[in-house]
Amino acid sequence: MQENEEKTLKNGYLSGRERIVRAGDLELWAEDFGDPGRPTVLLVMGAQAQGVQWNDGIVRRLVDGGRRVIRYDHRDVGRSSVVDFAARPYTVADMASDALAVLDAFGAERAHLVGASLGGVIAQRLALTHPHRVLTLTSLSSQPLGTDTVASVQRVLAGLPPLPGELPPPRPELLAALASAFPDPEAGLEGYVTARMPLWRVLHGPVLPFPEDEYRAMERQVYERARDLRAALNHTLAGAADTGTTVDLASVTAPTLVLHGTEDPMFRPAHAEATASAIPGARLVMIEGMGHTLPTALDDRLADEILHHTGRAQEAPGSSKP
């Protein structure tokens, strides 16, 4: 594949300028959209999710709003390298380094970071460790750095009470759906996609209409792009190995937006409130009816919130426009 290869719509999906980014001995698939001279927005997906799960509608809206947009596949998902986690374990800090490698490859010295779920934690870590690279931070459907969700889930499953001050665990119906959410890929494309729908129904939440065809199309694309579907489970292990703490967030200097759904079954609204409270000056925006997914019905709302946030930072007195 030629670097910066211009591509048109293919198979109904938006395509940009694709490239394979080197991060040490890893290969990371990435693509960018829009004018490279515009401010860069780096979209960082969550655990077990591919970069293309940032909806094309969000990307289009951001580009139309004057942003250059980059999305990419984490290690262990999509077209990026598969890692033997037992032999080479990694952490959120390593995944944050991958994000920097993507920015470097596209010549983006500074960027607006938008991270969803685990991607929000990755973006928070970068805002702490590399503040000079971060124009703004948007933490979407995420939780504060240092939250040990794996441990809280283990306590729930063991019938133990939460620890004092602990943020609420995922809802019981989500834990039940997760138990059967990873069917055997050998069952074939349609069998795999069908088996994933109960999980998406719970993640989507009970308020907004459930667009099953939309989720099926997304899962087909994920299935067809993946080198190894089960490798994505390593992201949960990486998240559990993170060493950051919520207290660290008091040092974040990037203007911060916390976007969250009122119906999020994974990270309940208290997680968003805790993130906004921990980061000085952070602005909390709750999206009515949204769960822990990015349905296309919310593309314009989410993109507009991001455009407003990143635009305010560029227009602030004393700020330098990249």
Tokens 């602005």 sit on residue: 283
For residue 246, the tally of other CB atoms under 10 A from its CB is: 18
Q: What is the CA radius of gyration of the chain?
A: 18
Instruction: Tell me the one-letter amino acid at 135.
Output: L
132 in active site: no
CA–CA dist 95, 4 (Å, integer)? 23
CA–CA dist 6, 33 (Å, integer)? 10
Cβ(110)–Cβ(135) below 8 Å? yes
CA–CA dist 205, 298 (Å, integer)? 13
Give me 133's structure tokens.
């690279």
Query: Which of 74, 235, 292, 309 is labelled catalytic?
Result: 292
Give φ, ψ of 41 to 5 degrees: -110, 120
117 in active site: yes
Query: Which of 32, 73, 264, 299 is labelled catalytic?
Result: 264
Burial class (CB in 10 A: 0-12, 13-18, 19+), 247: exposed
Query: Which of 80, 81, 97, 117 is labelled catalytic?
Result: 117
CA–CA dist 139, 142 (Å, integer)? 6
Q: Residue 285: which of 258, 263, 265 has the closest Cα?
A: 258
CA 216 to chain centre: 19
Q: What angle do CA 239, 292, 196 make, to 5 degrees?
A: 85
Q: Which residues are catalytic?
A: 117, 264, 292
